[in-house]
Chain A
Amino acid sequence: MRNFFEKLEKLDRRIIFIFVAVALILPLVVPLNIKFSSTPPVQSFYDAIEGLPPGSKVLLSADYDPGSMPELWPMHLAALRQLCRKNIKIISTQLWATGSPLAERAFNEVAVEEFHKKYGEDFVNLGFKEGREVVMVSMGNSIPETFPSDYHGNRTKDLPIMKGVKNFSDLALIVNISGGLPGTKEWILQVVSRFHIKLASGCTAVSAPEFYPYLQSGQLTGLLGGMKGAAEYEQLIGVTGLGKRGMDSQSVAHLVIFFFILIGNIAYFSIRGMKKEGD
């Protein structure tokens, strides 16, 4: 019996990998459609955009790379859907070099194909600019001077959407999809407090706890944490996207991890008990 528990305690990690793989794949093939409700940070994110009057201008900063795409891409698309549905004009920037093709693809998928929005009038992709926090502060002085041309090489000042846009005071909200640094924390520290503009953030699940202090202090208007946050947000805007579809897999995977933690502890306490009996 002790042998069995010792083997269990030192379980080959490849067995755990197989269980996790099955837990992730199976619900994608056979969806469980587990219902869930929205948490306050997600509701606040939704309300922040929903409360904007049509025609407002919003800065959407897509600061992430393909590595964090599984978590952030669903919320990026969902945010674009809500913004387009509300007829809000979107100015997009990226502080990560690898974010530009993703922002471009997101615009094509949602703004162009779904909502038939016009580039330069309803939305614009200003592209990537190196400089991290310096770029943020520079935009506070002048957005057209910080981004003299857009992702396609057009002069920013000539675009109809940029008429009347000088700096953050001409924008209603910043929506930040954040994969790390520079991201939400830097936007809060450099822009929110200094230029007095609201910020709603979508971030990876692992970085969400870091932003709760800012959420409670009101420096952050709303927060989407990881794929669960994206799924709740998709539910609020009434679409079934990648976030909602991934929830079943995540649920079962978390259960599998819980199961392994449990059997690890059963094995640990059984061996300890047997050792005490032996003494």
Chain B
Amino acid sequence: MVNQWAIIAIAFAYVLGVANIFRVNSQVIARKGRDWIYKVVLIAGFVIMFAFGILKGVNEGTTFNWIFMNALYPMQATMFALLAFYIASAAFRAFRIRSFQAALLGVTAVLVMIGRVPIGELVWKDFPNFTEWIMNVPQLAAKRAIMIGAALGAISTGIKVLIGLERTYMGGE
């Protein structure tokens, strides 16, 4: 029952979110503030998708679905694909071996990068297994340490809140 209420409350939060988008962006459009033209595109995009979705449905073959597949899909995919280019540029600049730690990071990154594509296996038959070992042993150990550390931190913060030592969430010192 509580779960059902929570789902209904979350659905209402959407209404508030939409109202807020309209309020904030229409104010900028009205006073022709910075980047107001983009706000027009945002509102127009929302109204068009909402209207087509409500009036004609969202299934395959509808206008809503056509816009989704031919506008939203390529735009989002393009944004994601740009990562390949920026990662290459960032790797070129970031992986300079300036210290022992940087050497460790750089060498591990290169080994995992090559070991996780087929060309790694072409170079050395056991490259994928070696990469799996890196993922399963050193990576996993570090990951677990972070997770346990974060969990202990959360527990201690919780205890501090419960016994009144932590009052910053109430605006206290």
Mark A residues whose CB is within 8 Å of B: 11, 13, 16-17, 19-21, 24, 34-37, 39-41, 65-70, 98, 100-101, 104-105, 108, 129-132, 134-135, 137-138, 141, 145-146, 151-152, 205, 209-210, 212-213, 216, 225-226, 228, 231, 247-248, 250-258, 260-261, 264-265, 268-269
Nearest CB of B to A262, in Å? 9
| In contact, A264 and B80 (Cβ under 8 angstroms) | no
Within 8 A of A (CB), among B44-98: 58-60, 65, 68-69, 72-74, 76-77, 79-81, 84-85, 87-89, 91-93, 95-98
Question: Which secondary structure dominates where chain A touches chain B?
Answer: helix
Q: How many A-B residue pairs have CB under 8 A?
A: 158
Contact size range, B: 35 or more
Nearest CB of B to A126, in Å? 14
Nearest 4 Cβ contacts at the A-B interface = A36-B118, A251-B119, A138-B3, A67-B76
| In contact, A34 and B88 (Cβ under 8 angstroms) | no
Which chain A residue lies CB-closest to B65?
Answer: A101
List B contacts of A268 (CB < 8 A).
96-98
In the docked arrangement, what's the CA distance between A264 and B144, Å? 33
| In contact, A264 and B95 (Cβ under 8 angstroms) | yes
In the docked arrangement, what's the CA distance between A40 and B129, Å? 9
In the docked arrangement, what's the CA distance between A20 and B72, Å? 25
B160 at the interface (CB under 8 A from A): no
In the docked arrangement, what's the CA distance between A260 and B140, Å? 28
Interface bits B95-116 vs A (CB < 8 Å: 1, else 0)? 1111000000010001001101
List A contacts of B85 (CB < 8 A).
16-17, 20-21
Stretch at the interface among B5-13, B26-34, B35-43, B163-171: B5-13
Known: A131-B11, A261-B110. 7 other contacts (CB 8 A): A20-B85, A34-B119, A66-B72, A101-B68, A104-B59, A213-B140, A254-B119
